[in-house]
Amino acid sequence: MATYHLTVFEKNGDKLMDESFEAKSETEAKEIGQRKLEEKNFADKTHRCTSSSGKLVLFRR
């Protein structure tokens, strides 16, 4: 399992969410990240999900 980090921002740069989670693969991390965004109504906000190695898995500007 790898650790992934999901961060959501307001347009002014304020953080709305900063959360880590574990997933078996990048595909699973993307699914988990998307689900968390939808649950908290942040899917339309600026967000990113990165792996512990810094690879970008999910992004919206």
Structure-block tokens of residue 2:
């790898």
Residue-range domain boundaries for the chain: 2-60
- Whole-angstrom distance between the N-terminal and C-terminal Cα of the chain? 28
Amino acid sitting at position 49: C
Q: Is 40 helix (H, G, I), strand (E, B) or coil?
A: coil
- Per-residue pLDDT at 1: 94
- Per-residue pLDDT at 11: 92
pTM: 0.92
Structure letter (DSSP) for residue 42: -
Residue 37: alpha-carbon gap to chain centroid: 7
- Per-residue pLDDT at 14: 97
- Per-residue pLDDT at 54: 94
Question: Do the Cβ atoms of 31 and 58 come closer than 8 Å?
Answer: no
Q: How confident is the model at residue 46 (pLDDT cuts 50, 70, 90)?
A: very high
Q: Using one digit for the tens of pLDDT, what is the confidence trace for 3-45?
A: 999 999 999 999 999 999 999 999 999 999 999 999 999 999 9
